[in-house]
A and B are shown apart, each in its own frame.
Chain A
Amino acid sequence: MSMAPDYPPDGGRWICALCREPLEQVKMQVFYLNSAFDVSLPSCPRCGITMTPKSLAEGKMLEVEALLEDK
């Protein structure tokens, strides 16, 4: 099971409100039910808060969650 690696924001020009920094695609691991997946997500380069775009949450992520739950 693989997730396409790069998920930019769904649209708009987003910044981190605290650091006022534009977001960068950062490679990281997301976790569910003893599994980890490599993805690139929009993240603040200074404080590290990370965005999960809606298209990912309701698309691939939901699919993979359902698969893992049936495992």
Chain B
Amino acid sequence: MKFDQAHLHEIESRCTQESPPRCQGLCPFQLDVRAFLAAMAESRHAQARKILDRALPLPGILTRICDHPCENACLRQGLGGSLAISKLEQHCAAVAEPSRMLPLPPKKFSLAVLGSGLAGLVAAAELARKGYPVTIFYRDEITAPLVTRFPSLKADDGLAADLEDLSRLRVTFEESCPDAALLARCEAEFAGVLLDADAARSLAPQEDAIDGVTRHWRGNVCCAGGLGRTPTGHAFPEAARQAGEGRRAAQTLERLAGKVSLMAAREKQQGSLHVSLEGIVPVPRVEPAGGSYTPEEARAEAARCLQCQCLICVRECVYLQKYKGYPRTYARQIYNNASIVQGFHTANALINGCSLCGRCEQLCPEHFSMADLCRAAREDMVARSYMPAAAHEFALEDMESASGPECALALNDVSLSEGAAPAWLFFPGCQLAASRGEQVIALHAHLREHLPGGVALYLSCCGIPAHWAGRQAMFAEHSSVLLKQWEKFGRPGIVAACSSCMKALRLALSEARVRSAWEILNALPLPRRCGTDFSEPLSVHDPCTARHDAAWRNAVRDLARKCGARLEEPRLSGEKTSCCGYGGLVSCARPDLAAEMSADRAAALPHTALASCIMCRDRLAAQGKDCLHLLDLLFPRPAMSGKDAAREKGPGLSARRAGRAALRRLLRDRAGEETPALQPPGMRVPPETLARLEDRHILLDDVTQAVAWTERSGQYFENLENGHRLGSFRPRHVTFWVEYSREGEGLVLHDAWCHRMKVPGSGGAAVRKEESA
């Protein structure tokens, strides 16, 4: 994805939120009907009148005679009837004082209008408002052509008011019969001429001689405002179309006078505004009890306006709501962020706040993808070295640790003879290994028992954090390690238990056959101890990375039902499922936002949830939401009720790392290869202190290391009031501070904090190394 203007426009055009609603799109004057009705609904008549006067060149006349195409397009049509826009305009014109237009400084080109019909007067008003000196040539009586066509204007004072406005705008009226001689004179003397095709019928050419868009006829002459014709040839007035032609002709005359292109940038290409009518209750149209609206009736009728907006994606997404905009504005902010040379990249948080879950793309009728945009932006930030180091560092280090010697393990099926290639490779994923070691072992054993050809096991991270962080080089490097191991096993089929792993593995090992553990299990005999003591229904929560994986989602439902669970689908499910807040590393870059996402999803699941991704399960549980993992139905943990399993909180960050390492040691030991266990830490960490560390993404490993260094070097501070020791250690780009004290033979941790700034005289040896480097 390139970050240039052309591409921005292409992306932006997919979001229709800024497109005019249908009423406005059909109005020849693009009246902001939404804003007008909003003002009317609150009886802000002066404001409503201002909106009318700004858009309509002849408000007195047009509000009276317009045949309101806007009403035909109103989305209320089938929900109680179209809004009475025209009648509300008349009400507004009757009750509110007209707003005074300030004339612009006079322009040098003079323009002529031949004939005082509707199109002629509209064009004159449009041009006069812009400061052009305009002369209207009319025969006998100025108002005659209008009143003939629209008799309702006869008794109306709107017509007189509009004519007065034209005089105020310095329009000159000249009584002179519009004939061929006058036309020739005007063509020569004026910069442009408008021929009113109704009032000066005899001079008007055939319709096909006139350009339909610009109303340009020949030389400097435009022609507009002819009557409509029925198929049988009957002529009739069509106010909106005639007035609209007058306006377009006025725009063309301006371009002719200024000698610029008649067509360039004239019609804005915008997709039509998408509006969801889901859940909108019909409300009948308010008809005036008398001939016209009372203020109360007008207010009630205007309040029926749906205030059409798209926001289909925004309504469902905590992240998209967070920044008070919509994808179109976000795209612009993200592009601006990329083009900053000096100054602050204010959209970094926006870019790193997206969970890349892809639901907006799914919901959007135009398939706008914030995920594609944000991931491309992250890649660009990484490539040009302005990705904040702190944004994803924890997750990337976690990925490294999960794939490093302490946690990673590749074990062939022990039942196969030495060097034989297994038919399958089980890839549980590093988060399942971190959280549910026992169930990983049980699942592996079950697969081995029932799948012919042997099932090897590979504990490692799949590399998705690098992909999410926009670090393509790191992802490629990780993929090559996975590829080497997969080839070493003889390219077996892969069984994955995490939908994010499946995504990453399909990217990394394009030739591998990757299938979900659920699909495979669904075709095998059920585990002996499977089942549930839950009688109430479970709300199925699909992981966002399985949004497009129907096989995953179907197998999860099949298996759960086979285990005796009753399932219910939440409102947003399957392809429209929500992210739990783990996706896209939001939980790392924007933990606050990630927690809001989890809470939002938890609130949308009416019953105890059933997840099939361990991060979904643990994040929902962290929000206090009762949530089971599918493995709790397939391989229930001994002596643990369904309720307890659903209530159990997942492990914290430190415990996850320890869990991965412990699983590896266990499997290694069983395979007969001894590995030295980790040194048991000689330090007690009270649970409330651990909770604070987790919040700040500080690992026990780092704390233990810092205490060890402090104790060894003797470089620490001592609080004479309570004997607490305070030391610091800077193993990489972060200085960790530990406050602890002696407790019998061991130590107890009281607090820890960290910062990235370098402070001379702290952090131990590593500070000096970093400084000299």
Contacts and interface: CB of A to CB of B under 8 A. Distances in A.
B390 interface: yes
Contacts of B22: none
Contact of B717 (A16, A28, A64, A66): A16
A18 to B, nearest CB: 5
Contacts of A48: 760-761
Interface size class of A (residues with CB under 8 A): 20 to 34
Interface string A39-71: 001110001111110100110011011110111
A52 B760 contact: no
B205 to A, nearest CB: 62
A71 B751 contact: no
A70 B726 contact: no
Interface in B730-773: 735, 737, 751, 753-762
B762 A70 contact: no
A65 B755 CA distance: 8
B675 to A, nearest CB: 37
B756 A32 contact: yes
B388 A70 contact: yes
Given A52-B759, A70-B348, A57 B719 contact: no
Contact of B388 (A16, A51, A54, A69): A69
Interface stretch (B338-346, B361-369, B401-409, B519-527): B338-346
B720 A13 contact: yes
Contacts of A28: 759-761
Report whether over half of chain A's contact residues are helix, strand or loop; otherwise say mixed.
mixed
B756 A70 contact: no
A52 B762 contact: yes
B553 interface: no
Contacts of A42: 717
B608 interface: no
Which of A28, A52, A67 neighbours the largest number of chain B CB atoms within 10 Å of its CB? A52
Nearest to B722: A12
Given A30-B760, A70-B388, A51 B720 contact: no
Contacts, number: 97
A53 B754 CA distance: 10
A67 B696 CA distance: 18
Nearest to A29: B760
A10 to B, nearest CB: 10
A17 interface: yes
Given A13-B720, A70-B344, A70-B345, A51 B726 contact: yes
Contact of A23 (B345, B717, B721): B717
Contact of A31 (B344, B346, B714, B757): B757
A26 B751 CA distance: 24
Contacts of A14: 717-720, 726
Given A17-B717, A71-B345, A57 B761 contact: no
Nearest to B342: A71
Contacts of A70: 344-346, 348-349, 388
B755 A62 contact: yes
Contacts of A61: 755, 757
A69 B389 contact: yes
21 contacts: A12-B724, A13-B720, A14-B718, A29-B760, A31-B757, A32-B758, A41-B759, A43-B761, A49-B715, A49-B761, A51-B762, A52-B728, A52-B735, A54-B751, A62-B755, A65-B756, A69-B348, A69-B388, A69-B390, A70-B349, A71-B344
Given A42-B717, A58-B753, 4 more contacts: A17-B718, A30-B760, A31-B757, A54-B737
Interface of A: 12-18, 23, 28-32, 41-43, 47-52, 54, 57-58, 61-62, 64-67, 69-71
4 closest A-B pairs by beta carbon, nearest first, are A50-B761, A69-B388, A12-B719, A57-B755
